[in-house]
């Protein structure tokens, strides 16, 4: 009998009474060429050799294609390099600009590493590999006209500190700002910018937005339309600069300390100077502070009020002259007004009660609010009795314009103080600030209002 597979042969033998073990042995010995299952086909090596040869041929073709693709990619890269060189040449000749992204740390892990390397390279008389690469990058970026890398050399021949480390100083500065971070920020890409505002401060005649009047009208009455009035404020960038000197020994012997000190020192100094200008700046070469702004209400002192005092009536009347959402306001006061706040009393019948002391006891922590509004103690507030010793301010109505891109520029020079063996660290920031209001608001009824309210002098 002819079988198509070993399985078919075994099944036949088993049906004839043979045990499965004997059937398997018999089939394996006598039907070696049969496939195991009916669907399987026994293929001899010589029958598939042609297929193997065909596969080898196709693999060889793929390898040749890959090699060809690599050659094309290399040629393309060469072409790209040629194009880049041509673009740079065009830019040098006054043509188009080419901008390349650069590692703003220049390979330095921290500012102290940069400072040490700069000092040591000067003493050894040659630049390190990193400084050489930094210089090459500077030259390349200057050649292609990069907007963020226009120059990395200071006016005095020193190196600008890599931007990444300047940002660390900027973070410390923001932490030391009480006013700047509350103001409305205006990014500036140019030296000046004009910001519009609605000139609707005078509402004494019932108009709003400067010229808009809503009237009750009868049917068929003619309607009269008016346009709102607008004005503009111009912010012009001013330069704020700080300098610090460090001996070569300090930089070599204590790099971590000098770097941390410079970061804290510059950050705190820039924050201090910025807030001082926002509070009391003259507007000449610096921001115009709120104390010198036209949009300010000054509450007069009480009749017969002693010099160098603050009384509850002062606080209440200042609160009543503030315009805007009270949640946007903060009190700003000099610390020497604290005794006056603690000693304020309100008359009740023939007696009285303290107005500010927490829990009517000096054992409690001092309040951080006044009339429910946050209270900030600041060195920039004027001394007790002087106008500006306490103020109620809505900083959202104050504009601060900042140069976009690199907010702070910092540099170090080993040449300026060469004869003293000192390195000079310099930091520069460009900004301006002005109140958004040009004058106080005059309502149809009642006293004038403003986002800045101060208390008149009480010196006599």
Give pLDDT, residue 151: 32
> Per-residue pLDDT averaged across 174-181, rounded?
77
* pLDDT of 216 higher than 50: yes
- Give the Cα separation of 424 and 419 in Å (integer): 12
Six token digits for residue 369: 């609010």
H or E element, residue 234: strand 230-236
Give pLDDT, residue 157: 36
Whole-model pTM over 0.75: no
415-434 confidence digits (pLDDT tens): 444 445 566 777 788 899 99
Give pLDDT, residue 294: 94
Which residue did the predictor score with more confidence, 455 or 157? 455
Beta strand 369-370 with 422-435: parallel, antiparallel or unpaired? unpaired
> pLDDT confidence of 97, banded at 50, 70, 90?
very low
**pLDDT-wise least confident of 113-122, 276-285, 378-387:** 113-122
Give pLDDT, residue 435: 95
Six token digits for residue 358: 């927490």
Give pLDDT, residue 425: 73
> pLDDT confidence of 149, banded at 50, 70, 90?
very low
DSSP alpha helices (H): ranges in 281-414?
Answer: 312-320, 338-343
Which residue did the predictor score with more confidence, 40 or 244? 244
Q: Round the average pLDDT of the chain to a whole number and report it.
A: 75
Give pLDDT, residue 150: 32
Q: How many CA atoms lie within 13 A of 107 on its CB side?
A: 10
Which residue did the predictor score with more confidence, 40 or 449? 449
**Cβ atoms of 440 and 450 closer than 8 Å:** yes
306-346 confidence digits (pLDDT tens): 999 999 999 999 999 999 899 999 999 999 999 999 889 88
DSSP code at position 147: S
- Give the CA distances from residue 108 to residues 59, 134, 163, 253, 262, in Å, rounded to whole numbers and listed in that order: 48, 10, 11, 19, 17
DSSP code at position 303: T
Give pLDDT, residue 176: 62
Distance of CA 423 to the CA centre of its chain: 29
E-strand ranges in 248-389 read: 297-299, 329-333, 345-348, 351-354, 369-370, 373-377
Q: Provide the β-strand partners of residue 69.
A: none
The residues, ordered by sequence, that sit 6+ positions from 136 with a Cβ below 8 Å of its Cβ are none
Domains in the chain with CATH codes: 6-92 (no CATH), 164-455 (3.30.2400.10)
């Amino acid at each position: 009998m002819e079988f198509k597979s070993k399985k078919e042969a075994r099944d036949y033998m088993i049906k004839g009474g043979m045990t499965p073990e004997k059937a398997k042995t018999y089939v394996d010995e006598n039907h070696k060429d049969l496939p195991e299952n009916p669907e399987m086909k026994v293929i001899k090596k010589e029958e598939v050799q042609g297929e193997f040869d065909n596969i080898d041929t196709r693999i060889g073709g793929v390898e040749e294609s890959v090699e060809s693709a690599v050659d094309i990619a290399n040629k393309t890269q060469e072409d790209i390099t040629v194009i880049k060189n041509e673009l740079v040449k065009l830019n040098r000749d006054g043509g188009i600009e080419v901008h390349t992204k650069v590692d703003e740390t220049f390979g330095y892990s921290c500012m102290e590493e940069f400072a040490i390397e700069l000092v040591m390279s000067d003493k050894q008389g040659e630049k390190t590999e990193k400084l050489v690469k930094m210089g090459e990058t500077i030259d390349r970026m200057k050649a292609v006209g990069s907007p963020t890398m226009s120059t990395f050399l200071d006016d005095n021949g020193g190196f600008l500190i890599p931007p990444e480390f300047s940002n660390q100083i900027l973070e410390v500065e923001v932490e030391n700002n009480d006013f700047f971070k509350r103001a409305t920020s205006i990014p500036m890409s140019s030296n000046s910018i004009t910001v519009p505002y609605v000139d609707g401060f005078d509402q004494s005649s019932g108009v709003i937005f400067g010229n808009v009047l809503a009237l009750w009208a009868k049917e068929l009455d003619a309607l009269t339309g008016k346009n709102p009035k607008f004005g503009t404020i111009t912010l012009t960038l001013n330069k704020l600069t700080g300098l610090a000197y460090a001996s070569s020994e300090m930089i070599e012997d204590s790099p971590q300390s000098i770097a941390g000190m410079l970061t804290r020192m510059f950050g705190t100094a820039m924050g201090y100077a910025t807030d001082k200008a926002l509070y009391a700046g003259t507007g000449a070469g610096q921001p115009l502070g709120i104390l010198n702004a036209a949009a300010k209400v000054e509450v007069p002192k009480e009749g017969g009020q002693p010099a160098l005092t603050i009384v509850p009536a002062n606080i209440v009347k200042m609160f009543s002259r503030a315009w805007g959402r009270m949640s946007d306001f903060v009190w700003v006061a000099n610390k020497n007004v604290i005794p006056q706040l603690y000693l304020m009393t309100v008359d009740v019948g023939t007696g009285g009660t303290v107005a500010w002391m927490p829990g009517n006891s000096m054992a409690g922590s001092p309040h951080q609010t006044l009339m429910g509004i946050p209270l900030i103690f600041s060195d920039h507030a004027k001394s007790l009795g002087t106008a500006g010793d306490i103020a109620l301010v809505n900083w959202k109505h104050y504009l601060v314009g900042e140069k976009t891109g690199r907010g702070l520029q910092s540099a170090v020079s080993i040449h300026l103080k060469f004869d003293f063996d000192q390195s000079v660290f310099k930091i520069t920031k460009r900004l301006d600030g002005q109140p958004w209001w040009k004058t106080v608001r005059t309502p149809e009824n009642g006293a004038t209002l403003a986002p800045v309210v101060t208390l008149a002098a009480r010196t006599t």
